[in-house]
Amino acid sequence: MQTALVITGPTATGKTKLAVHLARRFGGEIISADSRQVYRHMDLGTGKDLDEYGDGADRIPCHLLDVVDPQEDFHLKKFIELALAAMDGIRSRNRLPVIAGGTPLYVNALIRGYDLPGGEPDPHLREELQSLSHEQLMARLQAVATPEFLKRVDITQDKRIIRAIEIALSPQAEPIHAEPLDNPLVIAPYYPRKTVRERIEIRLDERLKLGLVEEVRMLHQNGVSWEKLDWFGLEYRYVSRYLKNELTFDQMRTELLAKIRHFCKSQDIWFRKMEREGIAIHWIPEGDTATAESLVARWLAHEPLPKPFIRLADITYSTK
């Protein structure tokens, strides 16, 4: 069994910046745990923040960025395979694996270990399933999946449900088994929800100014279908609707901002679930680097760590 430092958290909270700082401080290499940053030519919409990694000899190595073309499929099984191989390589160089990303399904799978039945994506099945409503997808999943498998499915996103149906329908495919990490340290920048909402808006406007619309336009011109762009998630879905003249620019920005904020809430649900299932997440106010460094130093020295003093599972929000 091997271990790793894990930096996770909701969107727009500075995970990459903190992960790079800690990797540089403690001799680490980063493994991106993001379901979309694996795709080439998709930088702004996926929030790769490439400038955070540094330049030249000072650049921090990052694995699982830009490993497939947008026309290709990528899924949890492939992520696990590549992430485990990257961890082995990092360890062979006597460096620290730093898993960084905000796709809770991927992060949770690495931390807790995973048994994956199922195989490659089925494009014909996906085409059929994409026309179904959320309720219809859930009914289809419940009809083909075991109760144990259902517990591991992220049902907050339809594309995750579709992938789960693919897996459940292909039990004869070659499985993959990942052992749980051995005593990982999980750190996440913490901001109050109001602040996160503000950061999401600032970040979206920055990306629009930097050329998000042009990025989506070029992807389509280079052969990525509107349907595939919709599959890639919110930024690509709503900018595509703008490019197809289904929304004005202002409508696109307003609807996209609302959807990203809602997506952030679904991430919150996952992190709460991870806490309830026994994963200690050390939420650090504003991603303070000194606090994070102190935790990592104690962890690497095999010293006892304090209990997290912030737990999302203990935080309630007003419904007003």
pLDDT at 143 over 80: no
Inform me whether the pLDDT recorded for 15 exceeds 80: yes
- Please tell me the distance from the alpha carbon of residue 288 to that of residue 285, in angstroms, as a whole number: 6
d(CA 30, CA 311): 25
Q: Is 69 helix (H, G, I), strand (E, B) or coil?
A: coil
Name the pLDDT band for 5 (thresholds 50, 70, 90). very high
Candidates 164, 166, 160; CA nearest to 231 is: 160
Q: Is the pLDDT of residue 172 over 60?
A: no
pTM equals 0.82
User: For residue 251, what are the contacts with CB-CB under 8 A and spacing of at least 6?
Assistant: 242
pLDDT digits (tens, 9 = 90+) for 17-63: 999 999 999 999 999 999 999 999 999 999 999 999 999 889 999 99
What is each CA distance from 140 to 43, 211, 247, in whole angstroms? 34, 39, 32
